[in-house]
A and B are shown apart, each in its own frame.
Chain A
Amino acid sequence: QLAVPVAVVFAPGSVPGDLPRPLPFRDVREMENSVNLRTSITSRYETVYRSTTAQEEAALDVATAREADAALRPLQDASLGCLTVFVVPETSSLLPQGISVYVGKHRSALVRAGGGLAALRTRLQQLTQVMSFTASSIATALSDRVPDGQLGPDARRHLKSSLGYEITFSLLTPDPKSHAVDWDIEDAVNRYVQPVLDKLSLVANFSVDSQILYYAVLGVTPRFDKESSSFLLSAHSLPHVINPVEARLGSSAASLYPVLNFLLYVPERSHSPLYIQDKDGAPVSTNAFHSPRWGGIMVYNVEAPVSSQASLPLHVDVDMVRVMEVFLAQLRLLFGLSREELPPEFLLESPGNEGLADWELDRLLWAHTVENVATVSTTLTSLAQLLDKIGNIVIKDDVASEVYRAVASAQSAMAKLATGHLYSAFQASKEAVTSSERAFFDPSLLHLLYFPDDQKFAIYIPLFLPMAVPILLSLAKIVREARQRKKEPTKMD
């Protein structure tokens, strides 16, 4: 059960006429989606309707919606998972023409009043689908349990929830004789990537690495296209590009977190310029592609020098702004923060330097929390099944305490989800996952697994079978004689 606290604040002049009760009042709406035969998710929207306070009115009194959003931020209850919707009068100039809903950066939205309560309620529902979770996003998080065929193609694309991620930026230079490439990666990471990672630090720990690889070639030879006199990589050869490169990239030596690789490839002089073709045959504008759950690759073309007498190697300074834009967009796609289809008349505020809006972070947290709880229950169930199958396993005390802790944390996570405290639910689910992994992968469990029963038979049977056979045979003879003797008195008579 998932609960979302929503507050609807009416600015003066925007109260619809057909309210069932005078302001302020509460309302609860529940929706149930079933994931599979045994699991279902209930979403509760606890809505509080009230009118604006004086400060909020003053904040709404500004010229544009963006300023209103910025001004409203300190006045809100900024806990994770909550949504605040401000209803402004129909004639208000805050929202531009034709736009009736404006979604801000910080968990608040401005809705233009109009139509009665029912219209307002539909707008609210659309809004919660955008800003909070949707049925499909929760189903994606639980993708292990949903029967196949019900999920869309995007279902298994997003990164699995994990306690931390390692991000590696690699510069691939297959031709160091022609290009001496320089990239100021440290500065670019500090300026562009670090704010996004700071925002995401609630979700997981991130660590960033970078490296330069020389003589690293792509596995595919690009085709030469005469019309544009450039080399093209077609869309169906892209999956073959990654494998040969991955051997050189190296896995993270010191930590166990999943790695996201972002590669920047500077093609060789003989293969310049190189463009990536999408399925329709048109060159991709950003010249980059990403692979779900792995990372992204961008091709950076260096212009050939005007004079052919230029001394090799050419010095190339990579334009980090262009590169980081693409990599950050790929990072958002990998995490599943992409925008789904918006209903008409919605306007989304762009998140600016931080890379993602607060409500996008909330969406991620909802999905990860649900996924964590599902993982915990799967792990503990398989541990229990293992114990049932092999009765010999000795469970040490600390393994048992980890299991208890995992169960307790999972239960508290579910309870907090039901009341709407998203942050503490997420923390509890993280603890539950850590404890369950520690219990399941404990090395002491493996030790006594390999003592099958037939080995015991193999040792004792050669000793006891020759001893037992004569005894059993004579027992059988005794029984036969006893039965004969019992019959004989009757026969003799």
Chain B
Amino acid sequence: LFPKALGQLVAALGVRELHLALTQGFWRTQAWGQPPLQAPAGAELWVWFQPTVTDVDKAWKELSNILSGIFCASLNFIDSTNTVTPTASFKPLGLANGTDHHLLRYAVLPREVVCTENLTPWKKLLPCGSKAGLAVLLKAERLFHSSYHSQAVHIRPVCRDASCLAVSWELRQTLTVVFDTFSSGQGKKDWSLFKMFSRTLTDACPLASQSKVYVDISPKNKEKELLEVTPPPASIHEAIVQGDKRTYAVYDLLSPSLFNTSRSLNVQLKWKRPQDSSELPIPVLHAQRYVSGYGLQTGEISTLIYNTHPYRAFPVILLETVPWYLRLYVHTLTIVTKGKENKPSYIHYQPAQDRRRPHLLEMLIQLPASSVTKVTIQFERALLKWTEYPPDPNHGFYVSSSVLSALVPSVIAMKDVDVEHSPLFTSLFPSSDGSSYFVRLYTEPLLVNLPTPDFSMPYNVICLTCTVVAVCYGSFYNLLTRTFHVEEPSRGGLAKRLANIIRKFRGVPPL
């Protein structure tokens, strides 16, 4: 079932873990709540290589080129100017023997656009393709009519069973889409599968061992009967997801009783009482980032990290990758929490080399409970060579999102869930111990203007010089070297004859 293209890639290049995400849009944490799996805007690729790989950089370059061919994305622009080797942030998600961070490479292309030609190879990797099962719903024209679209491919080694005697490769493909039914659904918050995807589910993929649809019907404020789901679900599943107790209605496509009444499954959700405002719980950890300053020479990057937990403090790892043309001044790095300075317990800074390496800044910051932490650093903009500007230089240059990784303590204790019982929840929301869960957040990407030259200048120079030369030089030369003769007045040229004709019409004596 594993697709051959990825299998060949993993075998040939000695890849241990691979995570590729292509995203369009930004997840608005304050409006939509905590994301299940977030990815930064653009293309993100991070790979752990096997310890047997000798030349990691060469393998990384080959890997990015081959992936750009498989996924029709321009990942071949990944080179040493946007690749970093984080030391603390991206720990392997699968089985790992040792973690020598020289085997890890991370790169983000914030300018990458995601469109239907990226979705098609993603769908081709699925065993049933888009012909059967849940993938039938994935029609490109509805999927891209959304506020946030992210597709990801994750490959990692996992234990085949509980005793972990054999290791097998797990390929996870995730698609996260945020539909705005409020604006497209005439102001009502009801949705259905048919309205969102313009088709319904008819059968399950015959190769799937599990095929389920989970609908979040968690009651808010302990009020029941606020919403109604049709058709009535066969079972209800309760799980603690990201510190919150949630209830899910489960539709199992493989169970024969589901398609007894109707041939297709169209899940609908109706709100019984009109909701005045949707109160989503504020996530425990969220962050913002922005650029301040004026002019085209200096500026300041500020990151605001919010910890809204009422009484628990926890540490967070902040990873910032800044391109080399924004020269960071590390001596201006300040971290302020509640008015007081906050010293990070671990800092790893790798300065940039012009045109070779970006800045890498990794810090472990302790966030006290119920606080806002502000991290600021000043930078200076560099002047690029005229061939290094992209085709639209006045659009600006992107700075990729910073990554926040944290083990957030959860308010409700989580219990260990069996892997086979609900593989979706254990892989999406893994919990090593019951009291905290792992969160990886991305901030906004920044758009920074660099001093841009006027690219029409060579043309202007040529025009001006040639005009000056042609007009002035020619006239001066003629004035200086022409010999003048006296001329007899001629009888009249053509102009004089025309003027005389007009004068005759006017009745004025001729010249």
A interface, CB within 8 angstroms of B:
168, 176-177, 180, 209, 211-212, 214-215, 248, 250, 252-255, 313, 459, 462-463, 466-467, 469-471, 474
Contact = CB atoms under 8 A, between A and B. Distances in A.
Interface stretch (B235-243, B341-349, B462-470): B462-470
Interface string B93-135: 0000000000000000000000000000000100111011000
B129 A214 contact: yes
A246 B132 CA distance: 21
Interface centre among A168, A252, A313 (most CB of B within 10 A): A252
Given A212-B1, A214-B128, 7 more contacts: A214-B127, A253-B8, A253-B9, A254-B8, A467-B469, A470-B477, A470-B478
17 contacts: A176-B206, A180-B206, A209-B4, A211-B3, A253-B5, A254-B8, A254-B11, A255-B12, A313-B206, A462-B466, A463-B462, A463-B466, A466-B470, A467-B469, A467-B473, A467-B474, A469-B474
B163 interface: no
B124 A214 contact: no
Contacts of A211: 3-4
A96 B450 CA distance: 90
Contact of B474 (A214, A254, A255, A466): A466
Interface centre among A168, A463, A470 (most CB of B within 10 A): A470
Interface in B475-508: 477-478, 481
B70 interface: yes
Interface string B382-419: 00000000000000000000000000000000000000
Contacts of B127: 214
Contact of B207 (A214, A462, A467): A214
A210 B481 CA distance: 86
A470 B471 CA distance: 11
Contacts of A177: 132, 206
B217 interface: no
Interface in B71-91: none
Contact of A254 (B66, B128, B131, B470): B66
Nearest to A255: B12
A214 B70 CA distance: 19
A82 to B, nearest CB: 39
A212 B4 CA distance: 9
Interface of B: 1, 3-6, 8-9, 11-13, 66, 69-70, 124, 127-129, 131-132, 206-207, 462-463, 465-466, 469-470, 473-474, 477-478, 481
B13 A254 contact: yes
Given A248-B124, A470-B474, A254 B466 contact: no
Contacts of B13: 254
A359 B390 CA distance: 60
Closest 7 CB pairs of A and B: A466-B470, A254-B12, A462-B466, A211-B4, A215-B131, A176-B206, A470-B477
Contacts of B66: 253-254
Given A250-B4, A253-B69, A253-B70, A471 B477 contact: yes
A214 B129 CA distance: 8
Interface centre among A248, A254, A469, A474 (most CB of B within 10 A): A254
Contact of B465 (A176, A250, A463): A463
Contacts of A250: 3-5
Nearest to B481: A474
B58 to A, nearest CB: 13
A463 B9 contact: no
A459 B459 CA distance: 10
B206 to A, nearest CB: 5
A463 B129 CA distance: 63
B466 A466 contact: yes
A441 to B, nearest CB: 16
B8 A252 contact: yes
Nearest to A180: B206
Contacts of A253: 5-6, 8-9, 12, 66, 69-70
A424 B428 CA distance: 58
Nearest to A478: B481
Contact of B469 (A209, A212, A466, A471): A466
A474 B474 CA distance: 11
Contacts of B477: 470-471, 474
Interface centre among A215, A313, A463, A471 (most CB of B within 10 A): A215
Contacts of A474: 477, 481
B128 to A, nearest CB: 6
A426 to B, nearest CB: 27
A60 to B, nearest CB: 50
A215 B469 contact: no
A211 B7 CA distance: 10
Contacts of B470: 466-467
A254 B69 CA distance: 11
A333 to B, nearest CB: 25
Contact of A459 (B12, B132, B207, B462): B462
A255 to B, nearest CB: 7
A215 B481 contact: no
Given A254-B13, A462-B462, A463-B469, A176 B8 contact: no
A160 B509 CA distance: 95
Contacts of B207: 176, 214
A489 to B, nearest CB: 20
Nearest to B473: A467
A459 B458 CA distance: 10
A178 B1 CA distance: 17
B14 to A, nearest CB: 11
Contacts of B6: 253
Contact of A209 (B8, B69, B131): B8
Contacts of A176: 128, 206-207
Nearest to B129: A215
Interface centre among A252, A255, A466, A469 (most CB of B within 10 A): A466
B472 to A, nearest CB: 10
A367 to B, nearest CB: 30
Contacts of A469: 474
Contacts of B124: 248
B481 to A, nearest CB: 6
Contacts of B9: 253-254
A356 to B, nearest CB: 28
A466 B478 CA distance: 12
Contacts of B12: 253-255
A125 to B, nearest CB: 48
Contacts of B206: 176-177, 180, 313
A176 B131 CA distance: 11
A158 B105 CA distance: 44
B498 to A, nearest CB: 30
A49 B365 CA distance: 90
A26 B207 CA distance: 70
Interface centre among B3, B207, B473 (most CB of A within 10 A): B207
Nearest to A178: B206
A180 B205 CA distance: 13
A250 B66 CA distance: 13
B231 to A, nearest CB: 23
A255 B12 CA distance: 9
B473 A466 contact: yes
Contacts of A252: 8
Contacts of A463: 462, 465-466, 469
A358 to B, nearest CB: 33
Interface centre among A180, A211, A214 (most CB of B within 10 A): A214
Contacts of B478: 470
Nearest to B131: A215
A252 B13 CA distance: 13
A209 B127 CA distance: 17
Contacts of A180: 206
Nearest to B132: A215
B450 to A, nearest CB: 27
Nearest to B458: A459
A451 to B, nearest CB: 15
Contacts of B128: 176, 214-215
A180 B207 CA distance: 9
